[in-house]
Amino acid sequence: MNRIKELAASISLATLALTACSPAEPEAEASALIATSADACSAFDVSTLGTGEGTATWVDAAEGLPAHCEITATLSPVEGSAIGVVYRLPSEWNGKLLGIGGGGWAGNVTIEAAADGLAKNFATMQTNGGNAGTNVWANDWVAEKPVAAEDFSHRAVHEMTVAGKQVAASLYGTAHESAYFNGCSTGGRMALMEAQRYPEDYDAIIAGAPVYTLQVQTSAVFRNQTFAQDDGAAGFTPVELQLVQDAALAACDGNDGLEDGLINDPRACTFDPAKLQCTGEKDESCLSGPQVNALKQVYSGQRASDESWSMFPMSRGGEAGWSLFMATDGSGEDPTGGGGLGNLFPLFFERGESPTLASLDNSDYLAVRASPFAEIYEAKSPDLSAFFERGGKLMLWHGESDPGPSPVGSTDYALQVLGANPQANDQFRYFLLPGVGHCQGGPGADLVDYLGAMDEWASGGTAPERLIGTKDDGSLTRPHCAWPNVAHYKGEGDTNNPASWTCEPRKS
């Protein structure tokens, strides 16, 4: 039970990525802010939204957040739909809207997720995704409620956005200047879905570690199977995973010019786990043959018969954190149920013909990807021409040590976008963050002011060539370079001074 809570907390942190960034700079033009008041808030007619039920409440300034009008409602664009939304509109508005994504199999309407945007004077827009539950792994409802499944897949964020624009215009008496979206994990999938399916909703989109296809879930299942081989003999203890990570770092950490516990370009790392294989009796100072084979499989990934990734590769250098999202212990079962895939089997297979997570194979994988649910859920199209043609800007990013969705998946998508939209070089940026886990965490410089960087870019600045990341204790500062470059230490100067690093072409 504690492990499940830990995993749920991790996903919840992913949805709060907006709050984990550098302090906001003061608004340069305070006179441009548009005011609203408690009286205007109380006078707002909530009955004009959705089902007509909701609240409009004035919230006084507190704990670093400005006074704001909090409006709740339930949208019902189709019969049976119940999309919960929360809008938080600051007393002084910068004229910009900010949509916020969820995590796992849930939306996010918490004030914590809205805090960074509110502090920067954005009017924030949030949704529960069409399901009121907050347990990120409790997704039985997806198979049981087709309308809610489609709401969560794409409709909820779109309807939240359309209504949110109307709410802001009504409360402030003027239309918004621009609209941004920021999400990580499931929120990253929502972000890409908006760019692909509803290109007119947002002017600027930030998508972090996106769970953008069901390959993320099948990857979890096949990784669990890999570690469960040989009756679990391919599994690892935490000590053994740390052993592997230490060996990978010893082999590749210095490739970027500095040994700092981070591998900046993991796919250029050629560490071979066979070097750790026991030559004598097995103990925790070496690895068994099944363990070495499992590592090689997980590093390499697995291709299905249609040549797509049925199991995305994992990066070297982040092994100690893998157990958060996979059954590295060899049990074959992780608390997430393969990222929730097991609960979705009724959507893919006829009764009596359903596999188990342990028996899922190539043909089952193909059935999952070819299902009607995959068609509405996956945000895999690289054709963003409609979004880019209207001036849209997309920032995609992923932590290199993510134990959930693999950065290889995001890199594949980024390359597809660049190939399909050659006109978008100045409207698309992709960043890989060394040592960073799922949306945040890990030993890397995981705190980045994505919203601030995007706001500067979308407000007329140049496309960022690097983002500056820090740790919450101030112990680490590193530049994260835009694809295809990677940070390399110059060999002299303060390692925590971004000026001591250059962005160079990666070798992977």
Whether the CB-CB separation of 184 and 209 falls below 8 Å is answered with yes
pLDDT at 327: 96
**Integer Cα distance of 390 and 362 in angstroms:** 40
Query: Token pair for residue 464?
Result: 């960022």
Are 323 and 222 contained in the same domain? Answer: yes
389: left (phi over 0), alpha (psi -120 to 50) or beta: alpha
Name every residue whose Cβ is closer than 8 Å to that of residue 192 and which is 6 or more positions away in sequence: 205, 207, 210, 212, 379, 413
Q: Say if residue 229 is in the same domain as residue 206.
A: no
Phi, psi of 131, rounded to the nearest 5 degrees = -140, 125
Euclidean distance between CA atoms 69 and 22, whole angstroms? 25
CA separation, residue 489 to residues 151, 321, 494 (Å): 46, 25, 10
Q: Say yes or no to pLDDT of 351 above 90.
A: no
Q: Is the pLDDT of residue 22 over 70?
A: no
Residues 239 and 202 in one domain: no
CA dist 311 and 220 (Å) reads 7
pLDDT at 134 (0 to 100): 86
pLDDT on residue 1: 44
Determine the average pLDDT of the residues in 237-250: 98
Pair 246, 337 in one domain: yes
Instruction: Work out the pLDDT band at 11, boundaries 50, 70, 90.
Output: low
Q: What is the 3-state secondary structure (H, E, C) of 279-331?
A: CCCCCCCCECHHHHHHHHHHHHCEECCCCCEEECCCCCCCHHHHHHCCCCCCC
Whether the per-residue pLDDT at 13 is higher than 90: the answer is no
Check pLDDT > 50 for residue 31. Answer: no
The burial class, CB within 10 Å (0-12 / 13-18 / 19+), for 278 is middle
Name the least confident of 25-34, 81-90, 140-149, 259-268: 25-34
Q: Note whether 426 and 348 are same-domain residues.
A: no
Interval 458-468 mean pLDDT: 96
Range in 191-195, 208-212, 322-326, 493-497 the model is least confident about = 322-326
**pLDDT, average across residues 47-52:** 94
Mean pLDDT of 196-218: 98
Mean pLDDT for the chain overall: 93
Tally Cβ neighbours within 10 Å of residue 290: 18
Last residue in a domain, options 370, 405, 429:
370
User: 216 near 312, Cβ under 8 Å?
Assistant: yes
Q: Which of 337, 370, 403 is the endpoint of a domain?
A: 370
Residue in 433, 396, 401 with CA at minimum distance from that of residue 413: 396
Q: Is there a single domain that holds both residue 25 and residue 130?
A: yes
Separation CA 195–CA 99 (nearest Å) = 13
Burial class (CB in 10 A: 0-12, 13-18, 19+), 391: exposed
Using the predicted structure, report yes or no on whether residue 504 has a pLDDT greater than 50: yes
* Tens digit of each residue's pLDDT (9 = 90 or more) over 77-135: 999 999 999 999 999 999 999 999 999 999 999 999 999 999 999 999 999 999 998 88
Query: 25 pLDDT exceeds 80?
Result: no
The CATH number covering residue 448 comes to 3.40.50.1820
Q: What pTM did the predictor assign?
A: 0.94
Mean per-residue pLDDT, 21-50? 75
Q: Are strands 68-75 and 83-90 parallel, antiparallel or unpaired?
A: antiparallel
Give the model's confidence band at 19: pLDDT under 50 very low, under 70 low, under 90 confident, else very high: very low
pLDDT digits (tens, 9 = 90+) for 252-286: 999 999 999 999 999 999 999 999 999 999 999 99
Note the pLDDT of residue 380.
Answer: 98
Regarding whether 144 and 53 lie in a shared domain, the answer is yes
Q: How far apart are CA 85 and CA 159, in angstroms?
A: 9
Mean local confidence (pLDDT), 486-508 = 96
Query: Does pLDDT of 23 surpass 50?
Result: no
Q: Is pLDDT of 425 > 90?
A: no
**Both 232 and 351 in a single domain?**
yes
DSSP state of 435: T
Residues 93 and 106 in one domain: yes
Distance CA 372, CA 348 (A): 8
Structure tokens at 285: 């100072």
At residue 445 the predicted structure's pLDDT band, cuts being 50, 70 and 90, is very high
14 pLDDT exceeds 90?
Answer: no
pLDDT of 178: 98
H or E segment to which residue 97 belongs = strand 96-100
Of all residues in the chain, the percent with pLDDT exceeding 70 is: 94
Q: What is the mean pLDDT of residues 192-216?
A: 98
Statement: residue 330 has pLDDT above 80: yes
The residue from 370, 394, 423 where one domain ends is: 370
Residue 26 has pLDDT above 70, yes or no: no
- In terms of domains, do 45 and 140 share one? yes
- The confidence score (pLDDT) of residue 32 equals 80
For residue 469, which amino acid is it?
Answer: G
DSSP string, 391-434: T-EEEEEEETT-SSS-HHHHHHHHHHHHHH-GGGTTTEEEEEET
Clarify whether residues 186 and 237 are in a common domain.
no
275 touches 336 (CB < 8 A): no
Residue 5 pLDDT more than 70? no
* Same-domain status, 265 and 143: no
Over residues 221-241, mean pLDDT: 97
As for how many domains the chain has, the answer is 2
Domain of 155, in residue numbers = 2-214+377-505
| Residue reference for tokens 């500062």 | 477
